[in-house]
A = this chain, B = another copy of it.
């Protein structure tokens, strides 16, 4: 890492060197001597920089991680792929790391945040189309009966998603969802949902970026939804969010101004096999590192690992009922429909050399707001 921070090929250093050489060619006598002195002094200044850089390099980039196999695996991977002397060195332009979102970079229980958004949007949708009030599944949502809602099947959810995520312009959707994200609070922590991001994963994102990795969110959630806060919450720009995406339709409003309307037509179901397919569509390169937490991430991890050289494949196991949630059903944890981590997936991870992160044992801190 040190060698990278003070890479002698750094453009600033290179331009200094070039500049000095050029000057030397024409300079004579006093001017030349003066420049030599300046060179030495700049050298001394760079030495101070070096000390500073080394001190920085020695600070722990992953303070919320307990020392253990998971943390060691991450650090070893970064060193192996970024130190120039390493046989597994990876060129900076192909350093790509992908992160699932729900349950990997933020809380997904008891329900995906975006699904909460859709359910809470139903009253406004019904107000605009009153006939929906008598039709299932909208009737149940309006009743507020959470037990009945928990029994929704896929077609019910699809109807709710279509009604709340499509049929409006992109600008209208963005404004509505942004407003909700600013106001809505998770009932357990009583904080905005965007606060419920895992500090240890934030550290990994920053650590990878500091080492030249381009970080992506690859989520089963809606691409347009996650893009609204990805920069602020993860430091990941909208164009580096790959998610489930519907078609849009280009047209014009009454005044002739162009607009994009969100259509109820699925383009990319970015889950399971859809994850590597989405990565190919949106990125076009195979990632070197992949992080997930459920069966929906299995193919993404397989795909990342199938490339040459050093690869990092990690799965987060939610085994911390006290500080967050505990669910599997792997390792005898309670079964769940939201973020299922099967024993089969656990066994595959062990067999393939993927690392399972124990939230309970590997993380000494979960949220930035934790003491």
Listed in ascending order, the chain A residues whose CB lies under 8 Å from chain B are 12, 15-16, 19-20, 23, 37-42, 44-45, 48-49, 52, 93, 170, 214, 223-224, 227, 231, 237-239, 241, 245, 247-251, 257-258, 260, 267-268, 273-274, 276-277, 280-285, 299, 302-303, 306
Contacts and interface: CB of A to CB of B under 8 A. Distances in A.
A276 B260 CA distance: 8
Nearest to A303: B258
Nearest to A227: B284
Contacts of A231: 93
Contact of A280 (B15, B260, B282): B260
A268 B258 CA distance: 19
Given A23-B48, A41-B45, A245-B281, 14 more contacts: A15-B52, A19-B49, A37-B41, A38-B41, A38-B45, A227-B284, A241-B284, A247-B277, A248-B277, A250-B273, A250-B274, A251-B273, A260-B277, A260-B303
A266 to B, nearest CB: 11
A249 B227 CA distance: 25
Contacts of A48: 19-20, 23, 38
Contacts of A42: 41-42, 45
B41 A284 contact: no
B15 A282 contact: no
Contacts of A15: 49, 52
> Chain copies in the assembly?
2
17 contacts: A15-B52, A16-B45, A16-B49, A19-B48, A39-B45, A41-B44, A42-B42, A42-B45, A45-B45, A93-B231, A170-B280, A238-B284, A249-B273, A249-B277, A260-B277, A260-B280, A282-B282
A273 B93 CA distance: 31
Contacts of A258: 276, 299, 302-303, 306
A51 to B, nearest CB: 9
A309 to B, nearest CB: 15
Contacts of A20: 48
A48 B303 CA distance: 50
A323 to B, nearest CB: 34
A214 B237 CA distance: 12
A281 B248 contact: yes
A19 B249 contact: no
A215 to B, nearest CB: 12
